[in-house]
Structure formats: structure tokens, C-alpha cells
Structure 1
Amino acid sequence: MPNLLIVGTDTDVGKTVVTTALVAYWQTYRSPNTLALMKLLQTGTGDGELYRELFELSQPPETLVPLQFKTPVAPPIAADREGRAIDLGKVWQTYQILVQNYPFVLIEALGGLGSPVTHELTVADIASQWHLNAVLVVPVKLGAIAQTVANVALARQVKLNLKGIILNCSQPITEEQLSDWTPIDLIQSLTHLPILGTVPYLPNPKDKNKLVQIASNLNIEKIFSL
């Protein structure tokens, strides 16, 4: 079954913008009931609540965020503070239910590829063990090249299938800053991965029409392909 994990180089790099743009595009141009959406795991509030506000989804509501902690810190720390265990079995079972009932499953990761999910496993480890296809979201900022190279190296170390890279502008930038901070030819040369597009700064992340437009300007066929 087709599936896709939206991962990032760090927290707050634009994973949610890319995820919601892809869902908005799918619901506009493809059959809305053929895509399922899931947050791998959430601490604090944010993504799951935004999903529910933006989209009408046919999947059971509890499958959007199968595991959530109140404390907005790394999952193992949140779990320790709340006296709870991180039940990855529940997350895996939820994912399997979605895979069995929907032609396409889109998952948003948490933090960066190296972010801890448990005391032993990172996002990269989980994505690799679950044999997920992934797209890497990279913020357009100074230092992005090194972050990208390091995250791609981690992905290759755990044999995670990265389909490509999406650049995201989390703030207004100039064309010169874009070319200086995230030079496409250099990043592609260093990582041997394609740049699948650039997401411009989006002042209102709830503007569904703009989200659809953003996704339309990405290499959408490559992103949604097996």
C-alpha cells in the first residue's frame, strides 16, 4: 500500500505546513475518502487539533493522534513526567488499521529524524522499522545545508527510503537568501536526492486555498508515487 511519512531536520521546520498542504491537495483533486492522516505521536497540543479544524476526514477521530502526552517536550521525557509508558504497539496497530482501509496513508512525524520517540528509538529508527517512504522537510535558513546532509546520512544509516527534500520558508525571505542558504544544486549534489519543491512563507497556515496552491507547485507525482 502507498504510504508517506513527512519528516524534518528538526522541530518547527514546516512538517505541518507540508502535511496539511498535501491533504488539502488530495481532498481537492482526488477522492477525499481515499486518504487517511495520522500524527505519529504528539506532545502538547497543535497538529491533531489543526487537522480536525481544517479537514473532514472519514477515518475514526481517534486514529488521527493515537498517542498523545500533555507535556510539550520530547516523548520519553513527557512520558516520564506523566508516569506513563510510550505504547508504540498502539500506534502501529492504528497505522495498520488505516493501511488496511485506505489506499493512501499520510503520517506526520515529530521533531527531526534524530528526535527520540522512546528512550531507545528515534524517529528515523521507527520509520525504518516500519518500512515507510519519507520526504524530508528542510527549513530555509543559515545552517540548513549541514542539517540536511546530517539528516540524510542518518536516514541512510538506518536504511530509510527518502524520496526527496522539500524546502520550507518559515519566515519571509529574499531570493538571495533562498539561493545562499539552501542552494538546490549543492544540496542535490551532496545528498543525491531531488529537491521536490519549495514552500513559500505562509502567514495563515489555515488558508486551505493557499495550501492547495502550495502543494500544486511541488513535484506532486513524485511525492504521491510508490
Structure 2
Amino acid sequence: MNTLLITGTDTDAGKTVLTAALAAYWQMYCPAKSLGMMKPIQSGTGDRELYNRLFSLNQSLEEINPLYFQAPLAPPIAAEREGRSVDLGKAWQALENLRRQRDFVLIEALGGLGSPVTHELTVADLARDWGLPTVLVVPVRLGAIAQAVANVALSRQSGVHLKGIVLNCVQPRTEQEIADWCPIDLIESLTNTPVFGILPNLSDLSDLGKLAQVASDLDIERLMPL
């Protein structure tokens, strides 16, 4: 399938960093192939505006983000405040249209794998129901091992096609901190899931060259169909 869903353990895990890095890499090294980007549901200002500014996508804001709610809250709560519902059919149709038009589509999920999409469904349920190959972003910090184990367990319970894990330094980290808090061998052993690499702390997402470079340090061939 020409689609990859980027999800995380929670909000601010680093989904946007990984999504932007993979998009920058694709547009730099695969210029002959078309890329689409999507944030199916967004609450508050953020990712759709960033992607529209950074990348040459030839997509409208609504094509990038078919379901938008003003309040930066969980979608079912944000939708209720506006007297609306979370119309997943609209988001699914937008994704199907985009996949027919593009060689590859990067999708950034909202919140974490267990975040609510509706009153009945989580991001994990959406990944399963839409059949989306998924990558889990785990932030490098104390407790990361437990977060990785719990979220991989959730993905398996929900029937998600989880391809692997990417670690992300949400704050500047030393090599010793990374080794102590996120030992790759232990995470892979406990989760039986490959770790595709570690993203350094990136405070400026406007440097596309840097984004492409950090993506190239990941196991990029297992992440995207180049």
C-alpha cells in the first residue's frame, strides 16, 4: 500500500518531526514521484498549516486536513463544541482520492495511538479499519520503555499493522541518556518490533535539508517504498 501512518505514544511525541523529515527526504531524493500529505483530523492550528508552508504539495488545506475543529481538544469534544460530528467518511474519501493521485501518501495521526477519534474509536481503531501500515514514534525520556511496550501491546490488541518504532529526542539528549532511557535492544526484545532509528532534537522544522538528512539516518528503506 502506498500509504504510511505516523502515530505516537501521546501528544508531542514527535509525529510532526518524523512526518516532515520523511516528506523532505521524499521530495529531495524522489522528485519524479508525487507525494501527498494528510492530517485527517486536526483540532486547533498546527500541522496542516506547517505542511502547506514547507512542502510543494499542490493540495488545498482541506485536502491536507479534511476534518478541522477550532478548539485544541480531543475531536469528539471539539466537534460537540461546534455542534458537529466527526465525519470519518469524509476523511476516508479524501484519503482515497489522494491515494489515487499520488505515488505515496504520508498521514499524521492526531494525539497518540490511544487518543479518541470519536466516542467509540481511537487512533488505533482507525489505523486498523483503514488498513494503514503504521510507525510508532516514542519520545526519548524516562519511562520510554514502558510507553513503547504499552503502545505496541495496544496496536496488537487493536489489529494495527505496526511496521516499527522511531525514537525521537523531544529535548536535547546526550548519548548516555539515550542509551539509558531507550536501549534499542531492550525495546526490540520486549516488543518484538524493530526500531528504525533515532531522531535528534530539532527545534527548526523549516530547514528541509536538515530534515532530509536526519531521515536518511533512519532505516529509510523499511519506512518508505523508494
Question: TM-score normalised by the shorter chain: which range applies?
Answer: over 0.9
Which residue of 1 is the match for residue 29 of structure 2? 29
Measure the CA separation in 2 of the matches of 1:22 and 1:73.
27
Structure 1 residue 58, shift from structure 2 partner: 2.6
**Structure 1: where are the runs of 5+ without partners?**
none
The one-letter amino acid paired with 1:150 is A
Q: Is the 8 A contact 1:12 1:111 kept in 2?
A: yes
Structure 1 residue 200, shift from structure 2 partner: 0.3
Measure the CA separation in 2 of the matches of 1:207 and 1:32.
21
Which residue of 1 is the match for residue 174 of structure 2? 174
Q: Deviations over 1:185-209 (max 9, x none)?
A: 0000001111101000112122111
Q: Is the 8 A contact 1:140 1:178 kept in 2?
A: yes
The one-letter amino acid paired with 1:7 is T
Number of matched residues? Answer: 226
Structure 1 residue 81, shift from structure 2 partner: 1.3
Which residue of 1 is the match for residue 184 of structure 2? 184
The 5 Å alignment of 1:69-218 reads 69-218=69-218
Measure the CA separation in 1 of the matches of 2:55 and 2:103.
18
Which residue of 2 is the match for residue 57 of structure 1? 57
Measure the CA separation in 1 of the matches of 2:58 and 2:32.
8
Q: Is the 8 A contact 1:32 1:57 kept in 2?
A: no
TM-score normalized with structure 2 length: 0.97
Measure the CA separation in 2 of the matches of 1:192 and 1:143.
18
Measure the CA separation in 2 of the matches of 1:216 and 1:75.
33
Structure 1 residue 158, shift from structure 2 partner: 1.3
Measure the CA separation in 1 of the matches of 2:8 and 2:98.
23
Change (3 A) 1:19 1:52: same
% identity of equivalent residues:
61
Q: Is the 8 A contact 2:33 2:103 kept in 1?
A: no
TM-score normalized with structure 1 length: 0.97
Q: Give the secondary-structure state (helix, strand or coil) at the position aligned to 2:6.
A: strand
**RMSD (Å) for aligned C-alpha atoms:** 1.2
Structure 1 residue 32, shift from structure 2 partner: 5.9
Measure the CA separation in 2 of the matches of 1:61 and 1:78.
19
The one-letter amino acid paired with 2:42 is Q
Measure the CA separation in 2 of the matches of 1:61 and 1:73.
20
Structure 1 residue 61, shift from structure 2 partner: 4.0
Change (3 A) 1:32 1:75: farther
The one-letter amino acid paired with 1:200 is P
Q: Give the secondary-structure state (helix, strand or coil) at the position aligned to 1:155.
A: helix
Q: Is the 8 A contact 1:43 1:71 kept in 2?
A: yes
Structure 1 residue 31, shift from structure 2 partner: 2.4
After superposing the two structures, state which structure 1 stretch, 55-64 or 197-206, moved more: 55-64
Q: Is the 8 A contact 1:33 1:58 kept in 2?
A: no
Measure the CA separation in 2 of the matches of 1:147 and 1:40.
24
Structure 1 residue 60, shift from structure 2 partner: 4.2
Structure 1 residue 62, shift from structure 2 partner: 2.2
The 5 Å alignment of 1:14-25 reads 14-25=14-25
